[in-house]
Amino acid sequence: MPLSYAIYTDLLIGNLPACFMELRLMLESLIKCYLADLKYPEQSFFQRKLELLEKETKDKKGGKVPKREHDFMKEFDEIINSDVRSVKLWGKLSKDWVHTKGIVDRIVSQISEKSGAPSWALVIPINYAEDDLDTIKELGKRISQFRKLLKATIENYKQEF
């Protein structure tokens, strides 16, 4: 809940990159907490469940390696079987909004296509410009995808537990 409120607050002050970063953290948290509950029901404390999940490994050429976020996303997608794929949403949020290259590419793209820097690339807080509507719509789309995953997760959780 705190991160969903943070998205709203950051949207109001014009900090769109933070909205996408917070959404990515919400997605990762949803997936890891769900998998930790599913795999380690005998553990009563959530921190211990997450520690055990983080210690999981997968087979790779040359031996076992620790699982990464991407691995957890794929596993989650197989369990939840939603029409929205968490791994795809996570990839878009990561590539376009969390990594420096993605943010810089977005700024350059908007400058070259719309002849102006996005308001969120300037000082925060700031008023939005009409050129920011596409980015705000994208945020709405990503939040909608997250909500579909959340709904599917809750339904699955009710059946499992």
What is the structure's pLDDT at 119? 86
Percentage of residues in the chain with pLDDT exceeding 70?
100
For residue 69, pLDDT over 90 is answered with yes
Query: Mind listing the pLDDT tens digit for each residue in 11-49?
Result: 999 999 999 999 999 999 999 999 999 999 999 999 999
What is the structure's pLDDT at 120? 86
Q: Kindly state the average pLDDT of the residues 130-159.
A: 95
pTM over 0.85: yes
For residue 161, pLDDT over 80 is answered with no
Q: Kindly state the average pLDDT of the residues 85-91.
A: 96
- 139, 153, 157: which is closest to 14 by C-alpha? 139
Q: Kindly state the average pLDDT of the residues 96-114.
A: 90
